Amino acid sequence: MPPTLAAGHLYLQTNEVKNAIIHYSRGADGALTEVERVPTGGGGSGVYKPISGQESAPNAFEAAGSVILTADKQFLFATNGGDNSVSSFSVGGDGKLTLLDVKRTGNLVAGRSGTAKSLAFSPATSTLYVLHSFGPDHVRLMTVDPEGKLTSRPEGYTVNTPDKPLRVSTMVVLSPDERFLVVGTTFDQPAAANPDGSPILWADQPDGSKKSVASNAPDPDGIIVFPLQHDGSLGEGMFQDGGGGSPFYPAFLHHRPEHFVIGYAVADGIALAKLDDRGQIGTGPVVKIDTSAGLPSELCWLAVSPDDKWVFATNFGYSNISSFRIDGDVVSLVHDNACPKVPGDGTFRALNGTVSSGPSDNWLTPDGTHLYQIYANASKLVGYAVQPDGSLAEVTAAEIPYNSPQGLAGF
């Protein structure tokens, strides 16, 4: 019998010290088959977590979008957080990758690891935007030539403010019209650590009071919008109210390009927001999940269905996924637990103190039929079939490296 044609392809970065991209083919039934592991030519952080200093923990960079594809599927880009570099690959007709280039972002590595973590690409200006966890130059730029070669640019942009010089950013995304670059944040300063290495969400103030280190809680400046210039450079950042604590993940809708959904690591839910033609944001109410298991839920990663009706939200602290419904401008929670909890190995605790498998990036197929989810502390990549009621049924699982993996992209 002739070989079965793949329905599509999926890519994950191992974030190992010698970083690599794992390429899977995926069947129409959602099943994954590993095709190849292609070295990036750069270094990841391994199991070490630079954000907290933990020797081994999932979600090394508090990040999303570290692996992306161009819209024409010609190139794949991936961050190498360990050495602050970016790799570019060509994508063959069979989905296979060929490494084209590796370039440093321009930010020096301080300590054991860098923090390059999230990418966005502007086809109009051939500019790649690279976000780092730590500043002051959180956003650095690269030019991509027609052959996929990278050139680092000198510009650097910050999400710090005069009274918040140590902010931790999370994700960078372009508005669909390529007029604005939107950056999410999670902490206004790096969190101190408990004896077990887990972060402490409160910091002592000069007057003896305590204040949350979570961004936008309560200071209304947790999302930063930069206007794009004709050459790909950025104008002055506009610091705006993200609508809730730690506006981690902004995801634009497919058919209403001025609208986007925000996932909140500390506000424990999602909200629908609108970006106007001046770059100003208006946010709706945060629709929360059940947080009886402990606060915060660390709801940090989102996938929006092709028809803009469903949002699947990954709960880092709860080891599962929640599903929401969008009807016009109304968001409603449908399933707190859209899938069973996936246990880890018992060694990692989330901010809320619960033992977690540390789920991070997810990816939804272009036809909306299957969702894939990283559970790094369980060493699993799990694939689900999306059910008509918004629940998720597991159909496949692949073994992945322990704790380090991040980033999912595919077609």
pLDDT in tens, 173-186: 999 999 999 999 99
- Torsional sign, CA 80, 83, 84, 87: negative
pLDDT of residue 203: 87
pLDDT in tens, 192-218: 877 766 678 888 888 888 889 999 999
DSSP secondary structure letters along 90-138:
EE-TTS-EEEEEEEE-SPPP-TT---EEEEEEETTTTEEEEEESS-SS-
| Pairing status of strand 202-204 against strand 310-315 | unpaired
Compute the half-sphere exposure of residue 308: CA atoms within 13 Å on the CB side of its CA: 16
Q: Is residue 3 included in any domain, yes or no?
A: no
Q: Is residue 2 included in any domain, yes or no?
A: no
DSSP secondary structure letters along 131-161:
EESS-SS-EEEEEE-TTS-EEEEEEEE---B
Q: Is 130 in contact with 144 (CB distance < 8 Å)?
A: no
pLDDT in tens, 384-407: 999 999 999 999 999 999 999 999
Q: Is residue 384 included in any domain, yes or no?
A: yes
Overall number of domains in the chain: 1
Q: Is residue 1 included in any domain, yes or no?
A: no
Q: Is 219 in contact with 230 (CB distance < 8 Å)?
A: no
- Residue 257 predicted with pLDDT over 90: yes
Q: What backbone torsions phi and psi does residue 377 show, to the nearest 5 degrees?
A: -75, -10
pLDDT in tens, 102-144: 999 999 999 999 999 999 999 999 999 999 999 999 999 999 9
Q: Is residue 141 included in any domain, yes or no?
A: yes
Q: How confident is the model at residue 5 (pLDDT cuts 50, 70, 90)?
A: confident
pLDDT in tens, 33-83: 999 999 999 999 999 999 988 999 999 999 999 999 999 999 999 999 999
- Residue 1 predicted with pLDDT over 50: no
In percent, the amount of the chain with pLDDT more than 90 equals 92
Whole-angstrom Cα distance, residue 343 to residue 359?
Answer: 10
Q: What is the mean pLDDT of residues 289-294?
A: 96
Q: What is the mean pLDDT of residues 147-176?
A: 98
The model's pTM: 0.97
Q: Is 240 in contact with 223 (CB distance < 8 Å)?
A: yes
Q: What is the mean pLDDT of residues 246-260?
A: 99
Which residues make Cβ contacts (< 8 Å) with residue 163, sequence separation at least 6?
Answer: none
- Residue 161 predicted with pLDDT over 60: yes
Averaged pLDDT of the chain: 97
Q: Is residue 92 included in any domain, yes or no?
A: yes
Q: By residue range, what is the domain housing residue 139?
A: 8-410
pLDDT of residue 197: 63
pLDDT of residue 198: 67
pLDDT in tens, 315-374: 999 999 999 999 999 999 999 999 999 999 999 999 999 999 999 999 999 999 999 999
pLDDT in tens, 368-382: 999 999 999 999 999
Nearest alpha carbon to residue 102 among 85, 125, 118: 85
Whole-angstrom Cα distance, residue 181 to residue 258?
Answer: 13
Number of neighbouring beta carbons within 10 Å of residue 149: 13
Tokens of 303: 């996938």
pLDDT of residue 10: 99
Number of neighbouring beta carbons within 10 Å of residue 290: 12
CATH number of the domain residue 223 falls in: 2.130.10.10
- Residue 148 predicted with pLDDT over 50: yes
